[in-house]
Every structure is written in C-alpha cells, then in structure tokens.
C-alpha cells in the first residue's frame, strides 16, 4: 500500500468531504436561463436585459425587415463597438495608420466613417436625391435615428427609410473593409447600386404586407409600398 504524505492525505480528505456534500435529485436535467426568475429563455427577456446593461446607451431595436446580422451590426454601431481604427487604438491594438482608409484625411471613428467622410457624404447626397428629400446634416447615428422617426405618422415610410438607412450604413462599412482588406472586390462605384439592391431585396422578401415593383422602387421608394 503506497504511503501518502500529510499534504496528500489532507487533500484527499477535503475531496471526500466535498463529494459527501453532493446531493442528487430525481428531477431530469434541463437547460436554465440564469437571468430570469423561472429559468426560461425568451427573446423579449433578453432584449430587456440588454437595455438594462450598463453599456446600453441605446435600447435594442430589432427591425424585422432586415437580416439578423444587420440588426446586430446596427446594435454594435449604436453602442460604439465596431472595430474602427479609433476603437482598436483605445483597446491597445497597434495599427500602422489611424487615418480613415477611404479619405486619408481624418482619424477613423464611427462618426467619421458613416457621416463625415467625403465618401459617406457623397453617398448620403445621392440617397437623399433618390428619396427626393432635402439632405439633413447628420453628424451621428442619433441624428439619423431621430430623422427616421419624423415619418412616424406614416408607418410605411418609417419602414422604407429605416431599411434604406440600414442598407447605407452596412454598405459603407463593407466598402471601408474592402478598402483595407480587398480593394479589388468592392469599388466605390458599386456603393449606391448595392444599397438600392440590398434594401429592395430585404423589403421584398421580408415585408409581407406589400408587393414592391422594381420600377416603382427605383423611381420613388417612399411611395413604393
């Protein structure tokens, strides 16, 4: 029989003590959600949890007309959690240049990429012309969000403007990533076409209350529903 040291014997006795404290139940095991009182999971409950989180400056808002990844992208944008150069530097990531990859003029943060960069400005001018509306001077996502809500009296226009704005933000981010990682795949001339097509596809496939024709969409998207 092997001889155990005093320390080993002490550890063994502690282990046996812990084992003896374990009690088994006849109830079947099941998954439980730790942030609810009854252990059940629901999407609405998880949204309330996100809204009450310390970093939650903005409430979660899920647009049912866009893909889930777009909602997640917009949520990250509103929380300032995108991996733009400014955020990467704040987190200690060493990068060769902090200037915007698209214009090479100012430091790249989310406000610059989506609203203040010359590329973003040209895109918003074109989108405003397509919508046949005066171009508001957006400086941040809050300005854009408040503008979308000005159509609250006409739900269809809220849906259209929100989807188009989401498609614009998503496409600007894709273009920015393309400039950095694969400049040959996403040209600047494709930005507007990508926005128009993406928004049309999302509405056509996910908004079941209306049938949208491609012709009316191109001519006047706010009246296409």
pLDDT tens digits along 116-155: 999 999 999 999 999 998 888 777 888 888 887 777 667 8
User: What is the band of 60 on the pLDDT scale with cuts at 50, 70, 90?
Assistant: low
Band of pLDDT at residue 112, cut at 50, 70 and 90: very high
Residue 119 is predicted with a pLDDT of 95
pLDDT at position 141 is: 83
Residue 208 C-alpha from the chain's centroid: 23
Query: Taking 80 as the threshold, does the pLDDT of residue 98 lie above it?
Result: yes
- pTM of the predicted model, to two decimals? 0.76
The rounded distance, in Å, linking the Cα atoms of 86 and 82 is 10
Average of per-residue pLDDT across 40-53? 73
Structure tokens at 72: 């997640």
Q: Which residue has the higher pLDDT, 53 or 196?
A: 196
Contact 49, 35 (CB under 8 A): yes
Tokens of 159: 């849906």
Placement of tokens 């009450």 in the chain? 52
Any idea which residue has 């003896």 for tokens?
Answer: 20
Spell out the residues 6+ positions from residue 224 whose beta carbon is closer than 8 angstroms to its own.
160, 212, 213, 216, 217
Task: Give pLDDT, residue 52.
Answer: 64
CA dist list (Å): 215 to 130, 152, 178, 210, 221: 13, 25, 30, 15, 9
Dihedral sign for Cα atoms in the order 23, 28, 31, 36: negative
Cα Dmax for the chain? 90
Q: What is the Cα–Cα distance from 125 to 195, expressed in whole angstroms?
A: 13
Q: Domain ranges in the chain?
A: 42-223
Rounded Cα distance, 222 and 122, in Å: 21
Task: Return the DSSP state at 99.
Answer: B
Question: 199-216: per-residue pLDDT in tens?
Answer: 999 999 988 777 889 999
pLDDT at residue number 82: 94
Average pLDDT on 24-51 reads 78
Q: Extract the tokens encoding 225.
A: 């529903």
Q: Which two tokens stand for residue 113?
A: 């990429």
């Amino acid at each position: 029989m092997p001889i155990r040291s005093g320390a080993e014997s002490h550890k063994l006795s502690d282990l046996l003590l812990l084992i003896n404290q374990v009690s088994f139940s006849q109830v079947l095991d099941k998954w439980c959600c730790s942030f609810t009182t009854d252990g059940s999971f629901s999407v609405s409950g998880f949204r309330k949890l996100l809204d009450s989180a310390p970093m939650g400056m903005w409430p979660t808002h899920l647009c049912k007309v866009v893909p889930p990844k777009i909602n997640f992208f917009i949520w990250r944008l509103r929380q300032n959690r995108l991996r733009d150069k400014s955020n990467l530097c704040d987190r200690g990531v060493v990068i060769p240049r902090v200037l915007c990859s698209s214009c090479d003029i100012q430091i790249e943060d989310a406000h610059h990429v989506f609203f203040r960069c010359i590329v973003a400005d040209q895109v918003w001018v074109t989108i405003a012309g397509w919508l046949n509306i005066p171009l508001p001077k957006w400086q941040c996502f809050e300005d854009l969000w408040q503008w979308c809500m000005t159509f609250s009296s006409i739900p269809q226009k809220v849906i259209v403007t929100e989807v188009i704005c989401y498609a614009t933000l998503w496409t600007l981010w894709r273009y920015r990533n393309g400039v950095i990682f694969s400049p040959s795949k996403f040209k600047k001339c494709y930005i507007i076409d990508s926005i128009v097509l993406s928004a049309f596809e999302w509405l056509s496939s996910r908004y079941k209350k209306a049938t949208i024709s491609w012709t009316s969409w191109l001519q006047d998207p706010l009246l296409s529903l």
